[in-house]
Amino acid sequence: MKFRIADVELESRFFLGTAGYPSPEVLRQAITAAGVQVVTVGLKRQLAHGAGANGFYDIIRASGARLLPNTAGCRSAREAVTLAQMARELFDTNWIKLEVVGDDYTLQPDPFELVKAAQELVNAGFEVFPYCTDDLVTCQRLLDVGCRILMPWGAPIGSGQGLVNPFALRTLRARLPDVPLIVDAGIGSPADAVQAMQLGFDAVLLNSAVAQASDPVQMARAFKLAVEAGRIAYQAGIIARQDMAVATTPVTGQPFTL
């Protein structure tokens, strides 16, 4: 199941957020149970609580996972670019999950500020993972300014609604067949992760569905298996839906296709 993203070869197609866990120890166990190789961290949150608080970075380093800093909480391109530059200095990585909020109620990304920030960061040598909606035109504009990866939402962040617009996501996959696509935000259960992977997406990123579960460690394991199952099903080829019943056992002819 190996795949390449941002010139890095990975085995796990499950990316995990690190916010809101009951304790650092539960976070550590969840990362292990998930088998993830990429974890995200909100720089604003870490700065607010003090860098390195509660051994957070020790947990990440011990896990061996790559760190994907994000610009969560930013509301303008200028603010996001500044935070990304800080993240590169602090974490010694050019990877950045770019978030620019456009609406306080839905936390929907601002497409104009997002594209503006993405272009500036790409020109500055960043590998930009833009958190965007499932709008095809916005996604194309992000690719036009140099993004090589897209992270369209499944639903508003933290809502747990699952994939509210599978049609739009299928369209993205069909129109952008060679672009790494990661469903990010809104996933509520492992079934949602299976659905995303069966649509042909390259990976899934989530946080709240694990961190806020009654048992985050077991839920992390459940999502690990769901992502793997969904990817295998996609590769195996899922049968087309039919409007009418189709007999599975023929009453005439040969029982096997030769």
Is there a binding annotation on residue 186? Answer: yes
**What does the pLDDT profile of the chain (258 residues) look like in tens digits?**
688 999 999 999 999 999 999 999 999 999 999 999 999 998 876 665 555 555 778 888 888 899 999 999 999 999 999 999 999 998 899 999 999 998 888 889 999 999 999 999 999 999 999 999 999 999 999 999 999 999 999 999 989 999 999 999 999 999 999 999 999 999 999 999 999 999 999 999 999 999 999 999 999 999 999 999 999 999 999 888 888 888 777 666 666 666
Q: In whole angstroms, what is the distance from residue 70 CA to residue 45 CA?
A: 10
Separation CA 63–CA 165 (nearest Å): 34
Give residue 147's pLDDT.
Answer: 97
Can you give the pLDDT at residue 248?
Answer: 75
129 - beta bridge partners? 97
Question: Are the beta carbons of 181 and 152 closer than 8 angstroms?
Answer: yes
**Cα separation, 131 vs 195, whole angstroms:** 19
Find out whether 63 is annotated in a ligand binding site: no
CA 81, CA 88: separation in Å to the nearest integer? 11
CATH of domain 3-236: 3.20.20.70
Question: Is 203 marked as binding a ligand?
Answer: no
Among candidates 172, 173, 175, which has minimal Cα distance to 200? 173
Our answer to whether residue 2 is catalytic in this structure is no
**Sole residue written with tokens 């839905």:** 106
> Tell me, what DSSP letter sits at residue 246?
-
The residue type of 52 is: G
Q: Give the pLDDT confidence score for residue 121 in this predicted structure.
A: 98
Residue 48 among known ligand-binding residues: no
Q: Which two tokens stand for residue 203?
A: 């990976």
What is the pTM for the complete model shown? 0.90
The structure tokens 């469903």 sit at 183
Q: Which amino acid is at 192?
A: D
Burial class (CB in 10 A: 0-12, 13-18, 19+), 110: buried
